[in-house]
Amino acid sequence: MIYRHLGKAGLQVSALSIGSWVTFHTQSGVRDAMELMSAAYDTGVNFFDNAENYAAGQSEAVMGEALKKLGWRRGSYLVTTKFFWGLHDNVNEWNTLNRKYLIEAINGSLKRLDMDYVDIVYCHRPDPTTPIEETVWAMHNIIEWGKALYWGTSEWEAAQILEAIEIAERHHLHKPVVEQPVYNLLERHRFGPDYDAVYKDYKLGSTTWSPLASGLLTGKYNDGVPSDSRGALPGYEWLKELLTDESRLDKVRALAPIAEQMGATLAQFSIAWCLQNPSVSTVLTGASRVEQFHENMKALDFVDRFTPEVMAAIDAALDS
């Protein structure tokens, strides 16, 4: 396994990591989660991503129970969670980053995970209705109380991240150390020029999500939606639309020969492409079964293979 610093933080994260969105509770129970997490841990993965709203809190419960049964030393792995949408459709408790919600949320997550602290807590989306200063103070307090060790943002605009850093610096509070953006061959905007000040100048860490665009970048949707795939799950009809979009499928088909020439599967090639970006600290991968995990981990063998010629071929395939 390769480890990378989480931006400027002292913390090192495995270059590939495991997330539980869609899978834990919905597709995988505690036993499956234990199998996947064991395979990951044995390979050197030290980062397990979660969120309050994944399976309405049940994903945290599954991960917490799996970790308890696995019995690993708490110092040897990292667990994260994220807040924004909330679990209760009620004023002050949903679509917010207000102080009251955030404090209630961390207490609820720690209870479900059955842990004393999480390693990183994220603001899952920006909340334009709460002053960033209020959110920064709440995240600072959560860290000061020992309920989380680091904090970050997810899908925030560059200007919002820089504002949070500036507020924290002005008040000598804990600063965000990481952003969690979508990043894959089909969605590259979160590392566009707007973010140069965040990643290239400030050197914030990044834990990127959906490297396979939910499985699209494996090629498995090229001829329709497999019945045992995420695209066939009830409640994910919105995702099925993206997974069956012909213009996206054309790009996937155009990328396939480049992966083949590299000797990689399309999944390995797509994950390795994320990692060739030095601003990426870890690529959060998802797997509904352990065989997928084993295939995806081999992406590490291809990270150094993205020559200028390969990058040009990728640009041409994506422009086609």
| Dihedral angle over CA of 90, 210, 284, 168, nearest 10 | -50
Helical ranges in 96-225 per DSSP H? 99-113, 132-144, 158-171, 196
Q: Which residues in 108-147 contact ligand NDP (CB under 6 A)?
A: 124
Residue 287 makes contact with ligand NDP by CB under 6 A? yes
**So which residues are the catalytic ones?**
54
CA 191, 192, 194, 200 torsion-angle sign = positive
| Residue 117 near residue 147, CB atoms below 8 Å | yes
- Interface with ligand NDP (CB under 6 A), residue from 110, 167, 177, 213: 213
Residue 218 makes contact with ligand NDP by CB under 6 A? yes
Residue 160 makes contact with ligand NDP by CB under 6 A? no
Alpha-carbon gap, residue 118 to 121, rounded angstroms: 7
Which residues share a beta bridge with 209?
Answer: 182
- Interface with ligand NDP (CB under 6 A), residue from 45, 79, 115, 267: 267
**Looking at 6-14, 15-23, 39-47, 303-311, which segment touches ligand NDP (CB under 6 A)?**
15-23
Burial of 10 (0-12, 13-18, 19+ CB in 10 A): exposed
- What is the pairing mode between strands 12-14 and 3-5? antiparallel
**Looking at 111-119, 189-197, 281-289, 304-312, which segment touches ligand NDP (CB under 6 A)?**
281-289
Whole-Å CA distances, 200 to 2, 8, 122, 191: 21, 11, 21, 10
Residue 20 makes contact with ligand NDP by CB under 6 A? yes
Residue number with CB closer to ligand NDP (146 or 227):
227
At residue 306, the 3 state secondary structure works out as coil
- Interface with ligand NDP (CB under 6 A), residue from 34, 67, 142, 284: 284
Q: Total residues at the site for ligand NDP (CB under 6 A)? A: 30
Least distance from C-beta 296 to ligand NDP, angstroms? 5
**In 10 A of CB 73, how many CB atoms?**
6
Residue number with CB closer to ligand NDP (146 or 205):
205
Amino acid, single-letter form, for residue 92: N
Residue 154 makes contact with ligand NDP by CB under 6 A? yes
Q: Which residues in 183-212 contact ligand NDP (CB under 6 A)?
A: 209-212
At residue 61, the 3 state secondary structure works out as helix
Residue 59 makes contact with ligand NDP by CB under 6 A? no
**In 10 A of CB 245, how many CB atoms?**
14
**Looking at 5-13, 18-26, 107-115, 312-320, which segment touches ligand NDP (CB under 6 A)?**
18-26
Residue 19 makes contact with ligand NDP by CB under 6 A? yes
Query: Which of 148, 151, 193 is closest to 168 using CA atoms?
Result: 151
Residue 285 makes contact with ligand NDP by CB under 6 A? yes
Binding mask 291-310 for ligand NDP (x = CB under 6 A): -x--xx--------------
Positions of E strands within the chain: 3-5, 12-14, 16-19, 47-49, 78-83, 118-123, 148-153, 178-179, 205-208, 282-285
Residue number with CB closer to ligand NDP (109 or 292):
292
- Interface with ligand NDP (CB under 6 A), residue from 14, 23, 279, 282: 23
Residue number with CB closer to ligand NDP (54 or 101):
54
What residues make contact with ligand NDP under the rule CB under 6 A? Answer: 19-23, 49, 124, 154-155, 180, 209-215, 218, 220, 229-230, 267, 284-288, 292, 295-296
